[in-house]
Structure 1
Amino acid sequence: MAERDEIESIFSRQRAGAAERRQRFGLEERKGALAHLRQTIERRERDIVAALRKDFGKSEPEVILTEILPVLQEIRHAMRHLKGWMRERRVAPTLATFGTSARIRPEPRGVCLIIAPWNYPFNLALGPLVSALAAGNSAVVKPSEMTPATAKVIAEIITETFPPELVAVVQGDKEVAQRLLEEPFDHIFFTGSPQVGKIVMAAAAKHLSSVTLELGGKSPTIVGPGADLEKAARWIAFGKFVNAGQTCIAPDHVFVHRSVEAEFAAAVRAAIGRSYGEDARASGDYARIVNEQHATRLRRLLDDAVGKGARITFGGGGEGTYLAPTLVEAITPQMEIDEEEIFGPVLPLMAYDDLGSVIERINSRPKPLALYIFEKDPAFAEEVISRTSSGGVGVNLTTMQYTHPRLPFGGVNNSGIGAGHGYFGFQAFSHEKPILTDRRSMVPMLFPPYTTRVERLIRIGRRFLG
């Protein structure tokens, strides 16, 4: 009951101030809120690093690169462009609306809910918050309970920075998240698995709340016969093994042309050694699995694959929350690892001869959040891009599409609905209100009663407009 009362109180306070925010939370106020958030993050950087070290064993450079820097870049980009994003846009009239003036005004959606995942718990909680504030909303942030140290720091940062009627934090498990979803939020921004995304969308439907769902899936990677294999191996190893593979846009599996299969596998092994040494366990730069439950799930996937004929050609060892960077070959459709999103440091390598068969296989699965192509021939990449559907595409790189503030980031169907980042995040948390004003419209000439003269005018209008 205490949790229920707290959630109702927070929501009611934010809802009560929504009308006033729409009038008073203007450009300078929004920029001030973002600047204040940036200052608090910079002041608490050591605490953020320590929390993620405790939750994941992440190194300081990786925390800065993948957790703190994306949020600071989001703030900087929003503050530089917010004036233009907020500006009303004039729209030219059509023949039918001649004599009117039209404009589009972005306005805040109102009270928003942000449910963050555990894999990048700081970045994926505060990144959407930047967009929500830039668009003029209040927000309730629900960090993941699976990363308690980071959730605690997030709560402290938000409490230090904002009054609860603007931004509040609610801590707790999935029952708390379900309780939050009972409130009629104006917009819900959820990052997590497709399975939980369906629950969020169903809850939002009860109130007809708009949603942005950033989900995941099995993001495929294709290495063509003309690829720069060393470059491909370094990018794929980085994208797959950063954060111990717990990245929604990590390469899930690699289709490699049979003519370069052996050379590519050797290049990946070399890239892993270059990044994490002979034993990644001893590397201060290699993260751990978030908890024993997920580590057990990954070992179960490996055991199932090996039991059905797969070969571990590199890595595979580890205990507790440590799992070594692992390469697996001879994957078949009967294996769980071929169906389930891996979300860990296990990379299947699958040889192919015909690109068409790879494209057919990708198209037979749910649409992925990301698709990666490595090949020097632009026509090869264009064939894959034009014949497949995915949230985003990386050509001769991985994961960097997430960091580009001028690109939308989001999925398609099973991998997500809507997009975030930069202007697209501002749009997600805004309603674009159309405003049409009469100047000298001639439409009243067509009002009833429909006399012979009016009918003649309608027929003339139909010739020109229809």
Structure 2
Amino acid sequence: MTTVASETATFDSLNPATGEVLSTHPIHDAAHVNAVVDRARIEASWWESLGFDGRKERLIRWQKYVVQHMDELVELMHLENGKPAGDAALEITLAIDHLHWAATHAGKVLKRRSVAPGLMMANNAATVGYRPFGVVGVIGPWNYPVYTPMGSIGYALAAGNAVVFKPSEHTPGIGEWLARSFLEAIGRPVLQVVTGFGETGGALCAAGVGKVAFTGSPATARRVMAACAETLTPVLIEAGGKDALIVDEDADLDAAADAAIWGAAANAGQTCAGVERVYVHERVYDDFLRELTDKAKDLAAEPGGQLGPITMPAQIDIIRRHIDDALARGARAVVGGPESVGERYVQPTVLVDVPDDAAAITEETFGPTVTVTKVRDMDEAVAKANATAYGLGSTVFGKARAVQVAERLRAGMTAINGVLTFAGVPSLPFGGIGESGFGRIHGPDGLKEFTYSHAITRQRFKPALAMTTFRRTTKDEERAGKLVSALYGRSSKKG
């Protein structure tokens, strides 16, 4: 709902489980966003001047503040996002771990270092350092409203940037909590928040920030990229997935089934790197399906249950359409089905015999549903897993060939004999390819993502051959040619 009060438009944040109004937030216009970015530039100068050690000390201070007030944030996430308190606590814990890693590793990863100048430039000392953009804009999602945006916020801050964060309109209170907690812990608004809808995000793209990190759907990602293109603002895109889990004939079937249902239904299936497709070797297909069915039947989406509500109401229609389309094409629901889709909650649904061109196979469902497909061998499993425009995460369960299968998957990340484990390792990059986007958060790659490289050469002594001068002679050119020929022109003999 949008209202107008004192000439400032506002919107309500709702509890997805009940529809209750939790809080009201401003719809920030372009003028306000520009003013916030201008303030961020001032803060960025101070923040960069602190150096790696100064920023580390302050980020650790913020980390401790979040830990000390974790119960407060858990309750807010439970109310505003809808996920069970235990899931909220796990998400916050992971975000804290990543923040700590970024704070304590930024100096090592980004500090200026020497590189070899090569033989032709041996008279120079060469170094490269990584410098912050200044202000980074972060447009975050609602499904993991702390962990996902903090993968950009924490790493951008550790790299020396100020951050302007536009949270999802479904979870604005959580975004405001993060900015408020930073201010209380540090005393300077290096992290600020703007709230609103797509227009507010568009204003952030046009505000002249150094980079924009976006998480959301591919369709919205294209609009963000188009807006950023107007000012040649670089972007980092994480745009969802249609991740596959592969089960080989020598897999631990109980563990594989447990991982499959957790990856498919945790957070009510609203996970960008969640499991949406499962491909199982024909020799263990029946046993695996029996294990998966038993586990899925034990889950319930309900108030106080293990699965929360669907946070974004419009997603209900997409989930229903995917299930109905699959069944109309000859698929079977061995757990759940059309009756599983309620007004706010969706019960776990397991679909089998789903055609490869069905929406449940080709489009991101973002609900607690999963398709299970029998394959004759791992070649077919890999081919089917890779037959998607997405390329975010993936999972392999098996023993003898698990690593080999994992290395053949077209995805940014793969977990072997576990699910989503790559997301919990702070030193690993997180991101995908294709419709899943580009760029990386987390790890050294994530730190460098929020910087630009700055190369410096320093002449240590005069070169034996001065080539970058108009005093260069023909004899100098001949000597240079002979040197290049001697260094790089000799043919190698193969024995």
TM above 0.5, yes or no, is: yes
1:410 aligns with 431
- Could you list the structure 1 runs, at least 4 aligned residues long, displaced by more than 6 angstroms after superposition: none
Over the matched positions of the two proteins, sequence identity in percent amounts to 29
Q: Distance in 2 between matches of 1:9 and 1:188?
A: 17
For residue 88 of structure 2, the aligned residue among 55, 63, 78 is: 63
Matched, 1:7 2:33: yes
For residue 92 of structure 1, the aligned residue among 116, 120, 123 is: 116
Residue aligned with 1:341, SS: coil
1:103-124 CA distance string (max 9 Å, x none): 1122111110011011101212
More displaced 10-residue stretch of structure 1: 129-138 or 265-274:
265-274
For residue 270 of structure 1, the aligned residue among 294, 302, 305 is: 294
1:259-292 CA distance string (max 9 Å, x none): 2222111111233356x3xx44375322221133
Mark the runs of 5 or more structure 1 residues left unpaired by the alignment: none
Q: Distance in 2 between matches of 1:159 and 1:21?
A: 13
**Kept after mapping to 2: 8 A contact 1:54/1:149:** no
More displaced 10-residue stretch of structure 1: 83-92 or 428-437:
83-92
1:373 CA drift (Å) = 1.2
Q: How does 1:42-53 map to 2 (within 5 A)?
A: 42-53=67-78
Q: How does 1:1-400 map to 2 (within 5 A)?
A: 3-19=29-45, 21-22=47-48, 24-65=49-90, 67-161=91-185, 166-273=190-297, 276=299, 279-281=300-302, 284-316=305-337, 317-378=340-401, 381-382=403-404, 384-400=405-421
Q: Measured at CA, do residues 20 and 463 of structure 1 come closer, stay the same or move farther in structure 2, by a change above 3 Å?
A: farther
Q: Distance in 2 between matches of 1:152 and 1:109?
A: 23
Q: Distance in 1 between matches of 2:297 and 2:374?
A: 23
1:433 CA drift (Å) = 1.1
1:59 CA drift (Å) = 2.1
1:181-222 CA distance string (max 9 Å, x none): 111211111111222222222222222222221222211111
1:227 CA drift (Å) = 1.3
Q: For residue 64 of structure 2, what is the amino acid of its counterpart?
A: Q
TM-score w.r.t. the length of structure 1 is: 0.92
Q: For residue 354 of structure 2, what is the amino acid of its counterpart?
A: I
More displaced 10-residue stretch of structure 1: 395-404 or 27-36:
27-36
1:161 CA drift (Å) = 4.2
Q: Distance in 1 between matches of 2:104 and 2:176?
A: 30
Residue aligned with 1:249, SS: coil
Q: Measured at CA, do residues 452 and 56 of structure 1 come closer, stay the same or move farther in structure 2, by a change above 3 Å?
A: closer
Q: Distance in 2 between matches of 1:217 and 1:84?
A: 32
Q: Measured at CA, do residues 21 and 460 of structure 1 come closer, stay the same or move farther in structure 2, by a change above 3 Å?
A: farther
**Kept after mapping to 2: 8 A contact 1:33/1:133:** no
**Kept after mapping to 2: 8 A contact 1:107/1:432:** yes
2:21 aligns with none
Q: Distance in 1 between matches of 2:126 and 2:347?
A: 59
2:16 aligns with none
Q: Distance in 2 between matches of 1:372 and 1:404?
A: 15
2:492 aligns with none
Q: Measured at CA, do residues 282 and 430 of structure 1 come closer, stay the same or move farther in structure 2, by a change above 3 Å?
A: closer
**Kept after mapping to 2: 8 A contact 1:392/1:401:** yes
Residue aligned with 1:98, SS: coil
Q: Distance in 1 between matches of 2:144 and 2:303?
A: 23
Matched, 1:456 2:475: no
Q: For residue 402 of structure 1, what is the amino acid of its counterpart?
A: A
Residue aligned with 1:106, SS: strand
1:386 CA drift (Å) = 3.9
Q: For residue 32 of structure 1, what is the amino acid of its counterpart?
A: E
Residue aligned with 1:46, SS: helix
Indicate the RMSD between aligned Cα atoms, in angstroms: 2.2
Q: Distance in 2 between matches of 1:286 and 1:49?
A: 16
Mark the runs of 5 or more structure 2 residues left unpaired by the alignment: 1-7, 9-27, 489-495
Q: For residue 103 of structure 1, what is the amino acid of its counterpart?
A: T
1:280-323 CA distance string (max 9 Å, x none): 43753222211332122211221222222221111232422111
| Paired positions, count | 459
Q: Distance in 2 between matches of 1:199 and 1:163?
A: 35
1:357 CA drift (Å) = 3.0
More displaced 10-residue stretch of structure 1: 263-272 or 351-360:
351-360
More displaced 10-residue stretch of structure 1: 201-210 or 341-350:
201-210
**Kept after mapping to 2: 8 A contact 1:31/1:79:** yes
**Kept after mapping to 2: 8 A contact 1:310/1:328:** yes
**Kept after mapping to 1: 8 A contact 2:301/2:308:** no
Q: Distance in 2 between matches of 1:8 and 1:152?
A: 18
**Kept after mapping to 1: 8 A contact 2:406/2:416:** no
**Kept after mapping to 2: 8 A contact 1:98/1:441:** no
**Kept after mapping to 2: 8 A contact 1:18/1:110:** yes
Q: Distance in 2 between matches of 1:398 and 1:77?
A: 22
**Kept after mapping to 1: 8 A contact 2:175/2:193:** no
